[in-house]
Structures are given as C-alpha cells and as structure tokens.
C-alpha cells in the first residue's frame, strides 16, 4: 500500500499539481467542477463543442447466423461462429431418464458417469485427457430428463481431433467391468450426497416431477435408485444405446468454428461408423407423451442437523407446489417465462441490488412481509411436450400450514391484475438475463444444440427479445388462468406434522382467494 501511495505522489508531482504551492508550502486552492467557474450543464444536455457520437448498429440480423446441415445418416450439424481462439463442440442426443420406462431406472445416470472413459481408440480416460490437453481442452458430460450432452472446449485448430474424439466417446465406448464398478461407486456416492446436502432443491425437483407425472416420461427417476446400482450391466446399456444413440436423434453443435470445417469433420468421423453395440437400428423407441397426473410426494425427515457448525442452518420444512404450464414449442412458453420472472423470489438473506429481483412478487408479497419465511423462489421447467411452474418455500416446521396458504394465495394472484410497471420490469430482466447468459460460449453451444435438436432450427436472440417485448398483461392473465384450472403437484420434505392435506391444497387453488379450508376442532 505504501509503495502505491508513493508512486501516486510522484505522478502527481510530475503533473504540476504539487508544484503550485502557496507561500506556506501548502497546495494552492483547486477549483472543482461544482465551482462557479464552470457552466452548470445538466447531464441530460449534450456538451457544447463535443462531436456527436456514432454508435454501432445492427441491421436486425446477427452477424453470424446459426447454420444447420443434415448428413446422409440423419445427423444434424449446427454451428454458430464466434470471435476467439477457442471453440466449444459437442454432441447432444435426444435421450435421458424420460425414455427409461421399458428399462430399469438409472441407465442415463450411469452413462453420464461413464462418459469419456476408454474407447476403441483410447485405452483409458487419462489418454483422452492427455489428447485434449495438447489443444488446451476440457471435457464434460451432462444428462437431463430429455437430453444427453457430451461437450469439449478446446483450441479451434484442434477441431478435427476433437470431433474424432467425441465420435469415439459416443459411439465406441468399451464399458469394461472395471469402469462399470467405478461408476457404481460414483453413483452411490452421488445418491448419498444428494440426501445429505443442506440445499434440498435438487431432491425437491426430483420429488415434484415424480408427483406431477406419476410413473411416466419426465416423472421417472433422473437419478439411479440405489436398488438398481448392482443390476445395471453392459448388456442393458447396449440395449438402451442401440435404441437412443442413433444419428437421427443426434446434433453435432459447435460455437467458434467455421461451418464447412465442422461438416467436413462430421462427415469424416460420424458418417458410416459402426457403433460398439452393432448397427441393427432402433426397434423399441419410447414415443410416449407426458401425462400430467398431479399428486403429492412426501418425505418425512429430521432436518435439525442438516448443517452443523458455528452458524447452523435452522430446522426447516420445504414445500414445493407446481402446476402444469406448457412445452417450449408452444407460443405460450414466452408468457410463462415472463410470469416466472415476475414471480422471482429467492432467499431471505439475499443481498439486494438492481437486477436481483428484489421487486419481484415473491420478494414484495412474501419475504418482505413474513419475516419467518426462509425462502420463496419460482421455477419453470419446460420440455418438448409439457411444462411445470413451481414455487419452492421453506420455513420453520411450526408454520407449515401458514406457509402453504401464502403460496396458494400467490398462485391465485397470478390470474389477477397485472401491473404494467412490474410486467415491463420482468420483461426487461428476462431479456437482460438472456443476453447476459449468451455472452458465454458454452451457453451459446447448449442453446444452439438444444434448439436444433428440438426444432431443426434456432431462434436468434433478437427474435426471442421481440417475442418477449410483445407479451401483454392479458397474455399473463390468460396463461395463469389456464394453469390454475389444472390439478396441483406437491412435494414436501422435513417435519410434516402441520402439512395440510392434498385435498385442502387443491381446494385452496380452486378458490377465489387461495385460502385453505378452515379446520375446526372440538378439543384443543
């Protein structure tokens, strides 16, 4: 710090400021911009004599549009050019836990953990990582309910090596006994971690899907149940891969690459390749459409010792209530996204500030008014044939009934009057979040891959922003009214002695004010 001060002092001496001293050695009087010697010009008025600024403009089209090419085997190749030395390339596959109805649960979870293991060309995971390291690359695999994604970020000059490696990882995995045993251990550890972690949001998300889509599609377990860990073997995995890892269900997406080079590498490494499980063609593909059933899933658990230490998290009961929304292919998807942003929310100790959602409904109506509410957050999960809008809340177990009533009231208020100011704020925040996220190359990659996988094309950011701007108050009221006509899905975790019955929650969501039916007791 002292060195920095000395350097600053020398710079100031050189500028002449320290040279202008009074007869007593003190610095001469310095006039600031607020002094009378300067004209009082408001910030909203252009400064005189300053040339008019010229800002960069767009002609309504992105400089680099997303290009899509379909190979002879049905595999789609999509690219988005982006300035920079590095690229993100990956294969997205239309597979996941929703397609496991005819199999035992957990295959997609197993394949996620087995990703980037030994293949026909690479003897071990270390060899794959060393190959990527030559191009400054990293790799990752993520599995959701409806999509599996293998991705690599590396120097653009190693594009052909990266695509060849991805093709080998996806189509030629060895799945050795040693790798399967290591994966069983990794899955077991993840299940234990899921049940022990202080943040219950992943477990509640699993529970709300199970309640909303009982025993079908996106309601199937995303994580491998513990009883299935020892049962999954190479034959089961090959049977699943044979049906769902087919070229027509794949997209090779790249960001920061030239489209022609990506197509050339895809043709070289992904066209006419014989997969490790044999090329007999998909014969047993599940094309089930999601059926929203509604219902409740409860998990009674002692949450008093979830987080120990000098500042432990208090004992909480967590409730998540959800209603069916719509798929991301429908026009109402954008109004639902705006509604979700308008609800917002967060934790009671979240630091405030512009853009953090402190003016969202769940902050203003819930967290600011009820000091005992620990958390209230809105979530929107959307798939190709359904969607789920949820509110997650947590509070002391003694106030569960009151907490549930506050959530049901907020759901009812969604179908009420929509203030123009709050709507514009939510739309602006949604557009801001969209554009900010799309600054990141991996996020652009995922956006390109998922859109092309679902629709064979991609809506560009300015098109999405135009759709967001077009949302009107009546659109919010319409989609909310449609959503409120359905049955609710409820997930509850913790001490549940004060939890209202499912029938009472359903009755509250069907009422005008969202109140739970009164309970009268003869003896107290």
DSSP string, 163-210: HHHHHHHHH-B---HHHHHHHHHHHHHHHHHHHH-S--HHHHHHHHHH
Tokens read off for 284: 């047993």
From CA 254, how far away is CA 262, in angstroms rounded?
A: 7
What pLDDT shows up at residue 395? 96
CB contact at 8 A, 12 and 18:
yes
Report the distance separating Cα 132 and Cα 168, nearest Å: 13
Q: How far apart are CA 341 and CA 348, in angstroms?
A: 17
Residues contacting 269, CB < 8 A, separation 6+: 163, 164, 166, 167, 168
| Cα–chain center distance at 398 | 32
Q: Which of 343, 334, 325 is nearest to 480 (CA)?
A: 325
Backbone angles phi, psi at 88, to 5 degrees: -120, 120
CA distances from 106 to 118, 225, 289, 298 (A): 21, 7, 20, 22
User: Could you give the CA distance from residue 72 to residue 273 in angstroms, rounded to a whole number?
Assistant: 12
pTM of the model: 0.86
| Token code pair at residue 162 | 């990266």
- Digit-by-digit pLDDT tens for the chain (524 residues) are 444 444 444 444 444 444 444 444 444 455 544 555 556 778 888 777 888 877 766 554 555 689 999 999 999 999 998 888 999 999 999 999 999 999 999 999 999 999 999 999 999 999 999 999 999 999 999 999 999 999 999 999 999 999 999 999 999 999 999 999 999 999 999 999 998 888 899 999 999 999 999 999 999 999 999 999 999 999 999 999 999 999 999 999 999 999 999 999 999 999 999 999 987 676 789 999 999 999 999 999 988 887 777 778 889 999 999 999 999 999 999 999 999 999 998 887 655 555 566 789 999 999 999 999 999 999 999 999 999 999 999 999 999 999 999 999 999 999 999 999 999 999 999 999 999 999 999 999 999 999 999 999 999 999 999 999 999 999 999 999 999 999 999 999 999 999 999 999 999 999 999 999 987 665 55
Q: Given CA atoms 105, 110, 112, 118 in this order, what sign does their dihedral have?
A: negative
Would you say 332 and 338 are in contact if contact means Cβ atoms under 8 Å apart?
Answer: no
Domains of the chain: 66-270 (3.30.830.10), 295-510 (3.30.830.10)
* Phi, psi angle pair for 218, to nearest 5°: -70, -5
pLDDT for the residue 12: 42
DSSP, residue by residue, 124-167: SHHHHHHHHHTTT-EEEEEE-SS-EEEEEEEEGGGHHHHHHHHH
Confidence at residue 357, expressed as pLDDT on a 0 to 100 scale: 66
Taking the C-alpha atoms of residue 455 and residue 459, their distance in angstroms, rounded to an integer, is 10
**Would you say the C-alpha torsion 464, 470, 475, 477 has a positive or negative sign?**
positive
**Sole residue written with tokens 């009164």:** 518
Q: What integer pLDDT is reported at residue 51 of this predicted model?
A: 86
Q: How crowded is the C-beta side of 153, counted as CA atoms within 13 Å? A: 12
Chain centre distance of CA 44:
39
Q: Where are the alpha helices (DSSP H) in 314-383?
A: 333-343, 361
Q: What gap in Å lies between CA 41 and CA 275, rounded to an integer?
A: 72
pLDDT at 3: 43
Please, which residues have CB within 8 angstroms of residue 356's CB and are 6 or more apart in sequence?
Answer: 346, 350
Burial level of 79, CB count in 10 A (0-12/13-18/19+)? buried
CA distance 478 to 332: 9
Q: What is the pLDDT of residue 284?
A: 81
**Nearest CA among 295, 285, 327 for reference residue 215:** 295
């Amino acid at each position: 710090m002292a060195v920095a001060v000395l350097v600053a002092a020398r710079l100031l001496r050189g500028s002449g400021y320290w040279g202008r001293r009074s007869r007593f050695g003190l610095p001469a009087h310095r006039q600031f911009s607020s002094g009378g010697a300067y004209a009082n010009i408001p910030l909203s008025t252009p400064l005189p004599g300053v040339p008019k600024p010229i800002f960069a403009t767009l002609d309504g089209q992105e400089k680099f549009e997303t290009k899509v090419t379909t190979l002879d085997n049905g595999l789609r190749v999509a690219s988005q050019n982006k300035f920079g030395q590095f690229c993100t390339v990956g294969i997205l596959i239309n597979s996941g836990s929703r397609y496991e109805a005819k199999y035992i649960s957990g295959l997609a979870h197993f394949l996620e953990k087995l990703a980037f293991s030994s293949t026909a060309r690479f003897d071990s995971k270390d060899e794959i990582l060393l190959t990527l390291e030559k191009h400054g690359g990293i790799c990752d695999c993520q599995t959701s309910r409806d999509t599996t994604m293998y991705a690599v970020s590396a120097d653009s000059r190693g594009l052909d090596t990266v695509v060849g490696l991805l093709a080998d990882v996806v189509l030629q995995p060895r799945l050795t006994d040693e790798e399967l045993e290591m994966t069983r251990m990794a899955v077991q550890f993840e299940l234990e971690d899921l049940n022990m972690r202080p943040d219950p949001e992943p477990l509640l998300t699993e529970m709300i899907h199970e309640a909303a889509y009982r025993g079908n599609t996106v309601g199937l377990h995303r994580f491998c149940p513990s009883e299935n860990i020892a049962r999954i073997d190479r034959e089961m995995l090959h049977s699943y891969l044979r049906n769902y890892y087919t070229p027509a269900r794949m997209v090779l997406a790249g960001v920061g690459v030239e489209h022609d080079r990506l197509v050339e590498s895809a043709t070289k490494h992904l066209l006419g390749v014989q997969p490790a499980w044999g090329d007999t063609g998909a014969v047993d593909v599940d094309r089930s459409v999601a059926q929203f059933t509604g219902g409740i899933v409860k998990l009674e658990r002692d949450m008093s010792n979830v987080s120990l230490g000098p500042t432990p998290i208090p004992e909480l009961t967590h409730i998540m209530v959800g209603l069916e929304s719509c798929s991301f292919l429908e026009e109402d998807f954008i109004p639902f996204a705006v509604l979700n942003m308008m609800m917002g929310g967060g934790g009671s100790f979240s630091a405030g500030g512009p853009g953090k959602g402190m003016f969202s409904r769940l902050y203003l109506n819930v967290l600011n008014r009820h000091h005992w509410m620990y958390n209230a957050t809105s979530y929107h999960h959307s798939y190709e044939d359904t969607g789920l809008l949820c509110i997650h809340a947590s509070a002391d177990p003694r106030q569960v009934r009151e907490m549930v009533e506050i959530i049901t009231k907020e759901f009812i208020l969604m179908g009420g009057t929509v203030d123009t100011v709050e709507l514009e704020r939510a739309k602006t925040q949604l557009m801001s979040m969209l554009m900010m996220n799309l600054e990141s190359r991996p996020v652009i990659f995922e956006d390109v891959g998922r859109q092309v996988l679902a629709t064979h094309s991609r809506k560009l950011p300015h098109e999405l922003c135009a759709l967001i701007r077009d949302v009107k108050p009546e659109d919010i009221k319409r989609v909310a009214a449609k959503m409120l006509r359905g049955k609710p899905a409820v997930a509850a975790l913790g001490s549940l002695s004060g939890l209202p019955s499912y029938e009472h929650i359903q009755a509250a969501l069907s009422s005008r004010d969202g109140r739970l039916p009164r309970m009268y007791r003869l003896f107290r």
